[in-house]
């Protein structure tokens, strides 16, 4: 089983985002800080974080296991679990994330309190200081 915790941070003004991802498999942990030069709001940045995490899992061939995905964005978790966009701005993100989710053997997406999501938050904020 793989557990993937994601978070995103936005610069002010929103010219950059930082993505923090922590992946646990067995007793191993992988931490990722990914900077992106994109002007996104918090929800869009969370979608981008899930997208980047899924791309990483597939690239590393970790998608054949059960994957638990944790995000502190209720908006993103709800939309992905419903597989439908509540607002039109969400649809492009669903269009690129749902095909990746379909490549996973089995997955669950759950909301996780930002108070408990400390390491991905730290990694996301660190990514804001890095160059893309």
Domains of the chain listed by start with CATH number: 2-127 (3.30.420.10)
pLDDT for 3 equals: 96
Ranges of residues in the chain whose predicted pLDDT is under 50: none
Residue 80 neighbours by CB under 8 Å, 6+ apart: 50, 94, 97, 98, 101, 109
Torsion of CA 38, 4, 125, 79, to 10 degrees: 50
pLDDT for 57 equals: 96
Q: Which two tokens stand for residue 87?
A: 């607002």
pLDDT for 14 equals: 65
Please give the model's pTM, rounded to 2 decimal places: 0.92
Please tell me the distance from the alpha carbon of residue 26 to that of residue 64, in angstroms, as a whole number.
Answer: 14
User: What does the DSSP 8-state code read for residue 13?
Assistant: S
The β-bridge relationship of strands 17-25 and 28-36 is: antiparallel
pLDDT for 42 equals: 86
């Amino acid at each position: 089983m793989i557990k993937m915790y994601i978070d995103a941070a936005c610069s002010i003004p929103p010219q950059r985002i930082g993505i923090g991802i922590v992946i646990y498999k067995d007793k191993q942990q992988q931490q990722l800080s990914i900077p992106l030069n994109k002007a996104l709001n918090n929800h869009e940045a969370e979608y981008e974080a899930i997208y980047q995490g899924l791309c990483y899992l597939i690239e590393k061939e970790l998608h054949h296991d059960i994957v638990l995905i944790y995000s502190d964005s209720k908006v993103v978790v709800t939309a992905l679990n419903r597989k439908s966009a509540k607002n039109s701005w969400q649809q492009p993100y669903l269009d690129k994330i749902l095909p990746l989710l379909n490549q996973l053997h089995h997955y669950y997406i759950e909301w996780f309190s930002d108070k408990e999501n400390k390491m991905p938050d730290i990694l996301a904020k660190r990514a804001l200081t890095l160059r893309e």
